[in-house]
Amino acid sequence: MTVVSVSSTLVRRLALASLLGNLAIVLTGGAVRLTDSGLGCPTWPRCSDESWTATTEMGIHGVIENGNRGLGVVLGAVALAGFLAALGLRPRRGSLVRLSGAVLAGVAAQGAIGGAAVWTDLNPWIVAGHFLISMALIAAAYAFWRRVDEPDAPVRPTVPSPLRPLTWLLGVVAAGLLVVGTVVTGSGPHAGDADVPRTGLDPQALTQAHADLAFLLLGLAVAGWFALRAARADPAATRAAAMLIGAILAQGAIGLVQYATGLPELVVWLHLLGASLIWLATVHLLHTTGTREPVQPSASIMELPERVARRVAP
């Protein structure tokens, strides 16, 4: 039996494709919700009882929802290809197999939750879980992509030990911000369909809690940036903290605009993009707080005679 070996370049490209694809599907999913196309395909996994694709009678809503599902199929194919490529890499690296497998499993779970959302007529809590799974997938796909170029060695901190808990606290607050944001969405308009019930929670109170968490995250990010500079930490970590601050400030500006203008669809879509970028910047910062020492390559058999000759030469 012939064993097919793949290159790390292929694995890296597939990992990057998974990362970008998971970002893209958040945006297409947002378009589904903001155009009231959530039930454009009223059944799952088929678009209708008679067809796998949208029909003319379904109109633009069916096209939008079916397009989002199509991207999900493509994303699943990319995740499967990434997993198979990790298996075919020689020497095989267990870390890449596990990370690519996590991405593949997450995409499958995402599809199942999407089906549950359709079956429950866009229950806001299930729709919230649909979004949060995408955030987990972005984190997993980023780790997969980054790990391709890292050796399988223990992590060595690149920032002073007292600062690492601060960066992990940033991650916890960012995750909390995402969770509260989904609850805010579930209590407000843009449900994905005009007849979908909301959670019944107070959107004003939830919006205030969401804003409070955003200010907390900004404060922690600014404090982290100053602390990293003062401690002369790895410049990559300092730059990552600055990127996170920029993403939070941009998101804050978008949030103020959408609040003042009554949640127009385009601004809400940009807010969704901003949430994804804040999360990605947070994940990036967490990864920059440690590195893996590169493994020194061993001499090949062809190089050994030359090295021995140099050592014994007078």
Backbone angles phi, psi at 290, to 5 degrees: -150, 155
Does the pLDDT value for residue 201 go beyond 90? no
**Residues 240-265: what's their mean pLDDT?**
92
3-class DSSP state of 181: helix
Q: How is the chain split among helix, strand and coil, in percent rounded to 5?
A: 70, 5, 25
Band (pLDDT 50/70/90 cuts) for residue 197 is confident
Q: What is the pLDDT of residue 49?
A: 83
Split at pLDDT 50, 70, 90, the class of 190 is low
Across 91-95, 164-168, 174-178, 193-197, the highest mean pLDDT is recorded for 174-178
Q: Assign 238 a pLDDT band (cuts: 50, 70, 90).
A: very high
What average pLDDT does the segment 305-312 reach? 46
Band of residue 248 on the pLDDT scale cut at 50, 70, 90: very high
For 64-113, how does the pLDDT look when each residue is reduced to its tens digit (9 = 90+)? Answer: 999 999 999 999 999 999 999 999 998 889 999 999 999 999 999 999 99
Distances (CA, A) of 159 to 27, 41, 282, 288: 34, 49, 16, 9
Percent of the chain topping pLDDT 70: 89
Q: Map residue 47 onto helix, strand or coil.
A: coil
Confidence (pLDDT) at 2: 42
Q: What is the pLDDT of residue 145?
A: 96
Residue range 119-154, pLDDT digits in tens: 988 888 999 899 999 999 999 999 999 999 988 888
pLDDT greater than 80 at residue 295: no
| Mean pLDDT on 300-304 | 41
Per-residue pLDDT tens over the stretch 13-29? 999 999 999 999 999 99
The residue-averaged pLDDT of 157-185 equals: 92
Cβ atoms of 66 and 47 closer than 8 Å? yes
Mean pLDDT of the 168-194 span: 84
The neighbour count for residue 121, using CB atoms within 10 Å, is 15
Return the pLDDT at 191: 58
Average model confidence (pLDDT) for the chain? 87
The first and second tokens of residue 187, run together, are 């209590």
What is the reported pLDDT for 301?
A: 39
Contact at 8 Å (CB) between 183 and 131?
no
Cis peptide before 45 (omega within 30 of 0): yes
The pLDDT of residue 220 is above 80 = yes
What tokens does 18 get? 């998974």
